[in-house]
Amino acid sequence: MALAGREKSFSFVWFLLGGALMVLTAWYVYDEAIGRRTWKQYAAEWTRLETKRIEEEIAKEMKGIDPKKLKQIELEREQAQQALESQEFADLQEELKRKQIEMDVANQDLQFAKADHDELFYQWKHAQHEGQDFSGYKKRYDDLDAKIKKLNEVQVQKEEAFLAVQEKINQFKNKLKDLDAQQAALTKKVDALQKQLKGVQDRGAPIEQYVLDDLGKAGPVNWGTVDRCTSCHIPVLKPGYEKLKEPFRTHSNLNEIFNNHPVEDYGCVTCHGGQGRATQIKHKPMEKGDYPHGFEHHWKTPLLRGDFVQSSCNKCHVQQLNLDLAPVYTQGKQLFLEYGCINCHTVKGLEWAPKSGPDLAKIKDKVYPEWFLAWVKKPTEYLPHTKMPQVPWKNDKDPVQALAYILDKSEPFNWKYGKFPGGDAAKGKELFNTVGCFACHNVEGQGGGSGPALDRIAEKTTGDWIYNWIQDPKNWSKEHRMPSLRLTQGEAQDVTAYLVSKGKKPDEDAQLRMALADPENIKAGFNVINTYGCYACHTIKGFEKASNPSVELTNFARKDVSELAFGDAKIPETWEAWTDGKLKNPQMYVDERSDSFMPKPNINDEQRHALLVFLKGQAPEVLPSKYIAYDPEIERGRRLVEKYNCKACHVIEGQGQEVAQWIKEPNFLPPNLASTGARLQTDWMHGFLRNPGDFPKVRPWLDIRMPTFQLSEAELEDLIRYFKKYDKVEGLFEVVDLKVTPEEISAAQRLMGPENFNCYSCHIVGNKFPEGGPTVWAPNLEYVHARIRPQWLNKWIRNPADLVPGTRMPGYYPEPNSGPKDVLGGDDERQLNALVNYLMTLGKKNGILQGETAAPATPETQPSVQGDKKPAPAADKQAKL
Amino acid sequence: MADIKDASEIPEVIDPKTDKVHTWPHLVRIEFICGLLAFMGLLVWSLVLDAPLEEPADPTKTPNPSKAPWYFLGLQEILVYFDPWMAGVVLPSLIIVGLMVIPYIDVNPKGNGYYTWKERKFAVANFCFGFLILWVALIIVGVFLRGPGWNFFAPWQEWDSHKVVALTNIDLNILLADWTGLDALRNPVVAAVFGMGLVGAYYAIIPIYWKLKSKKSKILQELGPVRYGITAFLFLTMMALPIKMILRWTLNIKYIVQLPWINLNI
């Protein structure tokens, strides 16, 4: 048997192995130090960019400095420096050293004596405690006491001597200091920039990170997060880099977002997604292998790009309807509610949502069956912008059977106002376009989209029904949100006449009517409705206890692609593509073994995108309560504002007033409700919201009417609490009972008079209307005492624009000491108090003005401005002058 | 490591008759080269391929497929063919016990200190079959070829979590009843007795083979009846796995014996 390799030399093998090992070692070091540390490249790029920027700024600053001045300082500096090299200065320094030693010696003597003193005190007291003789210690203690006093004096002396010499030296040096200061003042900006430059160049490539223990999720478990994003996105939290490209761009809406979401508490990944710990990008950013942004097969929450970042708001704002900084998310959420998605698919935070479709309990007395069938078959035929989705009817029989059931279960309507007696359509049209119907209903291309367009209303229903409906909507349905505009019987007749002229009654279809009355169809209708889920959006008798027809979507965004059925659809296998496809065509994933009864929402591309963003947020987390942004009182109010479409007419929270598109004159618009909670007294709000018709009009020149919403007591309370809370008013109930003195009356009357603020040039008082006409008129001051809170009034008179942006009311006390100097000694606060007290008593019943002789009477007897007729003595005098 | 340049530096061969040389340097230098190559291979591997981490654990989400650590995947693969009780308890215990008794049942002194196939055919073949086929190969199948739903995927196939495989496994007694028309086999008690009988018959090979061969076979005589019995029992038990696998692949047999009363099915 051969002794394999015994004689063979392995030199060449060793050489090869050694070489390969060296190459591998070099590769390893490169990989470890550079290859895997991609953030360092960005740090280097940032240093380069910043160096360039700062150097350019330095060059710019240097141009602004006079070089002659600098040279002059430099010369003087040299001279001063020479003075320091003289013999005199050297002697002084020598002397200073000597004095220093003397001072130190004196100091040491004193300290040692004090130490001895302490020891003696201990020995004395110790002996005393032990009952021994201590008089010797005491004597030595007292002697040392005297010595210390002397030593103290010596020490002070020596110190003074030292300071005297030092002062002399300083005089030599002061010149130099002064020159330094001069130079520093000249180059202050440049120096600061130089310092900044040094900071940038010394920065290196640190890993910067935010560590959050209570955020970061996998399933129901908090893992905590470590967000290292700012290692590459270096200036993201600094203003001024908005125009740079990523990763060096300043965060958008920097202050608005980070004031409420400090990065130390929220991190980055919480909102943006991605893998916060990672720092290596393997190939290119935003491609597979970009670990920090989470583009890796196993990272389930990659970076949310574009509008999708707004979906993260849902984590904490799940209960809120409106987020200013997340408009797409907000739109999606509102669409989800308005289009009735929520009625089939529950999501966390919106469980309270009511049925989005109208109540069908009395439908038989409302619509023509011919219209009804055409409508359910294809709603967009009648209303192109309807929120009713397209039901995927599988055959022609199903809709007929569904309607047969619904009509059969219909209850009789109480025709409270009888038959429609006819009216004047032209007048009705004018009314329709003035009293406010158009805020919600569109006719002839004008009007809001909250309610249905009424261009073909006569195809749908009868004049009798419209006539009854508009006079008392609650008589039709307790749940319906349609308000009453307090039309008189005549007005109702005219409006009805106008509406019945829109469209024409459909021809009667005897065959259809027979089919609808067929008991077989009625019976089959139950199953049809059950299958298609009509009852989810509409109240239908027999389905009171039926459960949601479809699945909850609360964790929908967590669905893995493998959990979504793509059927035969040829689309990218992603969550986004699937969801988008489902909204585009709900039946697109149906194959031979599956079926879908989801109706197709009538939404455009933009709306679908918004819904997608909202759905992408359906991955709620159980966060610590400090992160949950939710005030139930505010949100309940906002829901009512949305439900009753208040924002069609009013500006609320800075948004709304669609009607401004059609009412061109700003003074004819319904009021802006900014600071309403602070403005109005609870009692008045309550009464007014319950029925505005109970009150005289504060703005009598407005044609558009505040409707009577027939709100429940609970709704009233919710609305009032919302406005109060939103404007940070504490407590709902206040007693407003201000008194006014005669002096205040006369002062107020002078202030409000033509020579000063000239209030009556715009404000109506009682039945006295200013000459300027309706475009200048302002609210009737007679009702201030009943409506307005004095705290608000005080601020309002000071500077109204603070409270209601864009108001026509001028501010009379925008700054301190801006009131007239000749009233109440020119004291602003007293003037304001006088005005508030006066206005808060003006027009109040049962007198008021205590201790006052020339008091204005109540508006009951004398509704016009009191001051005009019975001026107080001071004002009278003023007027004569 | 010093290299050997001159034949005179080579230490003497200890015993020219037995053809043996010193471990140093003849063996050690070759081992060192192998070590270096292995080390470099690992280095390149670690540079090129990052450790394949999966997603962060989520207690509410069971991964599909749920796999044991790789070294247990052979056992997990056995679960396809046997009940957990057999695949998870009986068979692994027998593997351990079997390995432990090898020194006591192996009476062949040959092969000490050198490699031989001719002199230990049964032992080497047995080990290779048991380790390479039944352990390593099953691990490879478990790691690379089992996808979502523990379905079998060829290496070039995408792991489709929606893959559907018809479930048509059938118990042996039912299969026989279908074939023969003997409905008595459908009775669970009859089936249990029948299945037990089959298993008994399988192990009855042990005494029958002894009876037939012990007189002529030197090996059997050297082993003696006890060591033979143990060896044969372990061997047959090992072979039961491929037999069951083949029965499953060819006849879709689910169980041969069913004893639902004690939760034991074979």
Q: Give the pLDDT confidence of A722-743 residue by residue, as tens digits.
A: 999 999 998 888 888 888 888 8
Nearest CA of chain B to the CA of A644: how many Å? 41
Of A6, A24, A27, the CB nearest to B10: A6
pLDDT at residue B231 in the model? 94
Could you count the other beta carbons within 10 Å of the beta carbon of residue A779?
18
The C-alpha atoms of residue B90 and residue B79 are separated, in whole angstroms, by 12
pLDDT tens sequence across B160-205: 888 888 888 999 999 999 999 888 889 989 999 999 999 999 999 9
Q: Which residues of B touch A300 (CB under 8 A)?
A: 55-56
Domain assignment of residue B145, yes or no: yes
Question: For the purposes of burial, counting CB atoms within 10 Å of the CB of A193, is it exposed (0-12), middle (13-18) or buried (19 or more)?
Answer: buried
Q: What is the mean pLDDT of the segment spanning A395-407?
A: 95
Tell me: do B133 and B112 sit in the same domain.
yes
Which residues neighbour A646 within 8 Å (Cβ) at sequence distance 6 or greater? Answer: A640, A652, A656, A673
Where is mean pLDDT largest: A570-584, A812-826, A845-859? A570-584
The C-alpha atoms of residue A820 and residue A809 are separated, in whole angstroms, by 18
Q: Is A10 within 8 Å of B19 when comparing Cβ atoms?
A: no
Pair A613, A307: CB distance under 8 Å? yes
Chain-wide mean pLDDT for chain B? 88
Tell me: do B202 and B239 sit in the same domain.
yes
Q: Does pLDDT of A188 surpass 90?
A: no
pLDDT band of A263, cuts 50, 70, 90 = very high
Domain assignment of residue B241, yes or no: yes
Chain-wide mean pLDDT for chain A? 88
Q: Which residues of A touch B10 (CB under 8 A)?
A: 6-7
Total tally of structural domains belonging to chain B = 3
Q: Is B64 within 8 Å of A562 when comparing Cβ atoms?
A: yes
Chain A residue with minimal CA distance to B59?
Answer: A219
Domain assignment of residue B194, yes or no: yes
Tell me: do B142 and B184 sit in the same domain.
no
Name beta bridge partners: A443: A446
| Segment among A220-224, A665-669, B127-131 with least mean pLDDT | A220-224
A-B contacts at Cβ under 8 angstroms:
60
CB contact, 8 Å: A21 with chain B?
yes
| Segment among A388-392, B118-122, B203-207 with least mean pLDDT | B118-122
Of B3, B47, B61, the CB nearest to A219: B61
Q: Is B40 within 8 Å of A218 when comparing Cβ atoms?
A: no
Tell me: do B156 and B176 sit in the same domain.
no
Could you count the other beta carbons within 10 Å of the beta carbon of residue B1?
11
Residue to test with chain B: of A1, A10, A217, most B Cβ within 10 A: A10
pLDDT at residue A881 in the model? 35
Q: For chain A, give the percent of residues with pLDDT over 70.
A: 94
Which residues neighbour B78 within 8 Å (Cβ) at sequence distance 6 or greater? Answer: B87, B91, B138, B241
Strand A217-218 with A651-652, pairing: unpaired
Q: What is the mean pLDDT of the segment spanning A386-395?
A: 94
Q: For chain B, give the percent of residues with pLDDT over 70.
A: 93
Q: Is B26 within 8 Å of A28 when comparing Cβ atoms?
A: no
Helix (H, G, I), strand (E, B) or coil at B245: helix
Apex A138 CA angle, A136 and A143, nearest 5: 100
Q: What is the mean pLDDT of the segment spanning A791-816?
A: 89
Q: Which residues of A touch B59 (CB under 8 A)?
A: 219-221
Q: Does pLDDT of A490 surpass 50?
A: yes
Structure tokens at A419: 């038959």
Tell me: do B157 and B171 sit in the same domain.
no
Domain assignment of residue B60, yes or no: no
For residue A399, give the nearest of A504, A489, A531 by alpha carbon: A531
pLDDT band of A511, cuts 50, 70, 90 = very high
Query: Which amino acid, residue A535?
Result: Y
Tell me: do B11 and B26 sit in the same domain.
yes
Q: Is B58 within 8 Å of A21 when comparing Cβ atoms?
A: no
Q: Is A218 within 8 Å of B56 when comparing Cβ atoms?
A: yes
Domain assignment of residue B53, yes or no: no
CB contact, 8 Å: A180 with chain B?
no
Q: Does pLDDT of A506 surpass 70?
A: yes
Domain assignment of residue B54, yes or no: no
Of B13, B19, B161, the CB nearest to A562: B161
Q: What is the mean pLDDT of the segment spanning A847-858?
A: 37
Tell me: do B172 and B159 sit in the same domain.
no
Helix (H, G, I), strand (E, B) or coil at A221: strand
Pair A570, A629: CB distance under 8 Å? no
pLDDT at residue A395 in the model? 93
pLDDT at residue A868 in the model? 34
Tell me: do B18 and B85 sit in the same domain.
no
* Boundary residue ending a domain (B163, B178, B211): B163
Q: Is B4 within 8 Å of A9 when comparing Cβ atoms?
A: yes
Q: Does pLDDT of A290 surpass 70?
A: yes
Rounded alpha-carbon distances, angstroms, from residue A138 to A113, A121, A146, A147, A287: 15, 8, 13, 14, 89
Q: Is B58 within 8 Å of A3 when comparing Cβ atoms?
A: no
Provide φ and ψ at A778, rounded to 5°.
-130, 165
* Boundary residue ending a domain (B146, B163, B180): B163
For residue A316, give the nearest of A254, A236, A257 by alpha carbon: A257
Q: Does pLDDT of A878 surpass 70?
A: no
For residue A505, give the nearest of A537, A468, A464, A461 by alpha carbon: A461
Q: Is A221 within 8 Å of B36 when comparing Cβ atoms?
A: no
Domain assignment of residue B266, yes or no: yes
Chain B residue with minimal CA distance to A289?
Answer: B50
In chain B, which among 137-176 make CB contacts under 8 A with chain A? Answer: 148, 161-162
Which residues neighbour B185 within 8 Å (Cβ) at sequence distance 6 or greater? Answer: B173, B174, B176, B177, B191, B194
pLDDT band of A879, cuts 50, 70, 90 = very low
pLDDT band of B13, cuts 50, 70, 90 = low
The single residue listed with the structure tokens 């007795």 is B193
Nearest CA of chain A to the CA of B114: how many Å? 13
pLDDT at residue A864 in the model? 35
CB contact, 8 Å: B59 with chain A?
yes
Name beta bridge partners: A222: A217
Domain assignment of residue B55, yes or no: no
The C-alpha atoms of residue A90 and residue A297 are separated, in whole angstroms, by 77
Q: Does pLDDT of A684 surpass 60?
A: yes
Q: Does pLDDT of A877 surpass 50?
A: no
Q: Is B19 within 8 Å of A219 when comparing Cβ atoms?
A: no
Of B26, B47, B55, the CB nearest to A31: B47
pLDDT at residue B14 in the model? 58
pLDDT at residue B3 in the model? 56
* Boundary residue ending a domain (B148, B163, B178): B163
The C-alpha atoms of residue A695 and residue A693 are separated, in whole angstroms, by 5
The single residue listed with the structure tokens 């004193």 is A110
Q: Is B58 within 8 Å of A221 when comparing Cβ atoms?
A: yes
Preceding peptide of A871 cis, ω within 30°: no
Tell me: do B170 and B265 sit in the same domain.
yes
pLDDT at residue A678 in the model? 93
Rounded alpha-carbon distances, angstroms, from residue A589 to A421, A532, A549, A564, A602: 54, 17, 18, 10, 19
Question: For the purposes of burial, counting CB atoms within 10 Å of the CB of A300, is it exposed (0-12), middle (13-18) or buried (19 or more)?
Answer: middle
Q: What is the mean pLDDT of the segment spanning A756-769?
A: 88
Q: What is the mean pLDDT of the segment spanning A235-262?
A: 92
Give CA A3 to chain center in angstroms: 86
pLDDT band of A855, cuts 50, 70, 90 = very low
* DSSP secondary structure, A226-248, as one string: EE-GGGTSTTTTSTT-TTSPTTS
pLDDT tens sequence across B62-86: 888 889 999 999 999 999 999 888 8
For residue A803, give the nearest of A720, A684, A679, A698 by alpha carbon: A679
Q: What is the mean pLDDT of the segment spanning A26-40?
A: 92
Residue A675 region by backbone torsions, left for phi larger than 0, else alpha for psi between -120 and 50, else beta: left
Of A10, A221, A300, the CB nearest to B3: A10
The C-alpha atoms of residue A722 and residue A632 are separated, in whole angstroms, by 9
Q: Say whether pTM exceeds 0.95.
A: no
Tell me: do B77 and B33 sit in the same domain.
no
The C-alpha atoms of residue A373 and residue A370 are separated, in whole angstroms, by 5
Provide φ and ψ at A207, rounded to 5°.
-80, 120
Q: Which residues of A touch B56 (CB under 8 A)?
A: 218, 223, 300
Q: Is B36 within 8 Å of A218 when comparing Cβ atoms?
A: no
CB contact, 8 Å: A24 with chain B?
yes
Preceding peptide of A247 cis, ω within 30°: yes
Apex A703 CA angle, A699 and A709, nearest 5: 85
Question: For the purposes of burial, counting CB atoms within 10 Å of the CB of A402, is it exposed (0-12), middle (13-18) or buried (19 or more)?
Answer: buried
The C-alpha atoms of residue A767 and residue A782 are separated, in whole angstroms, by 9
Whether the complex's predicted ipTM is more than 0.85 is answered with: no
Q: Does pLDDT of A836 surpass 80?
A: yes
Tell me: do B122 and B201 sit in the same domain.
no
Tell me: do B158 and B78 sit in the same domain.
yes
pLDDT tens sequence across A127-170: 999 999 999 999 999 999 999 999 999 999 999 999 999 998 88
Preceding peptide of B25 cis, ω within 30°: yes
pLDDT tens sequence across A531-588: 999 999 999 999 999 999 999 999 999 898 888 999 999 999 999 999 999 999 999 9
Question: For the purposes of burial, counting CB atoms within 10 Å of the CB of A765, is it exposed (0-12), middle (13-18) or buried (19 or more)?
Answer: buried
* Domain enclosing residue B149, as ranges: 69-163
